[in-house]
Chain A
């Protein structure tokens, strides 16, 4: 009787052990695959957002230069402020899905420089008409380029080279 029970236990173990190993292995592999897919989607989403933000910076650059080169246009002032607000909100919201916050912090400080370049002088009530050659245009160009550069760095940091290529 005791022998029968013992051999049943051995038979059960012979079946159950490999089966449970297979199940545990499947759970681990599946978990890693899901994690990898989510990470890939997250990186792609950040890269896509960075591209969209670069396009918004291009539009802002054009609008800001037009604004400072023409007579005062109050509709354009509103558009510029909305674009700047949208830009900084979109950059800030990336904090929810970005792991490397240093690149994002840099983007946020460049957003401030961009807003200052466009709206701190000769804006709204201080607009005195078309500006010719002014340092404001240079400041806007510098800040726009810095913004795009920081966004490209943020995008590229999502896809680091594997160590074998370094």
Chain B
């Protein structure tokens, strides 16, 4: 299993949706850490603590965008993508974006 601590491995200042507007965007994070591992069926644990905070556009692009782009079966993603945060609202919001993305694919 791969553990990704956003603050240590990516940035303490995650910001924005698209990487064309900044290296610390949700799209940049998704392409760098989530897509390579999850497309190979590896398990990924994402740790959210340690950053200054998250904007919803970052979270939606990183996790909702993952579903829209890779179209991994929902059961596989639920099994392989693990989330860890001391703030329960972050985990719940990410789950919402994943759920909404699957609904939009149907």
Contact = CB atoms under 8 A, between A and B. Distances in A.
A interface, how many residues as a size bin? 20 to 34
Interface stretch (B17-25, B35-43, B70-78): B17-25
B92 A108 contact: yes
A146 to B, nearest CB: 14
A92 B17 contact: no
B45 to A, nearest CB: 20
A125 B89 contact: no
Say whether chain B's binding surface is mostly helix, strand, loop, or mixed: loop
Contact of B56 (A88, A119, A125): A119
A82 B89 contact: no
Contact of B90 (A88, A109, A118): A88
B95 to A, nearest CB: 10
A153 interface: no
A83 to B, nearest CB: 8
A129 to B, nearest CB: 14
A135 to B, nearest CB: 15
Interface in B26-68: 52-58, 60
Contact of B52 (A85, A108, A111, A126): A85
Interface string A35-59: 0000000000000000000000000
A149 interface: no
A12 to B, nearest CB: 60
Nearest to B90: A88
B55 A124 contact: yes
Name, among B55, B58, B86, B93, the residue most crowded by chain A CB atoms within 10 Å (CB to CB). B55
Contacts of B96: 112
Contact of B15 (A77, A91, A116, A121): A77
Contact of B57 (A85, A109, A123): A123
B18 to A, nearest CB: 6
Given A78-B13, A125-B16, A120 B54 contact: no
A82 B52 CA distance: 6
Interface of B: 13, 15-18, 21-22, 25, 52-58, 60, 86-90, 92-93, 96
5 contacts: A84-B53, A92-B87, A109-B92, A111-B89, A119-B54
Which 6 A-B pairs give the minimum distances between C-beta atoms? A125-B21, A81-B53, A85-B53, A125-B16, A119-B55, A120-B56
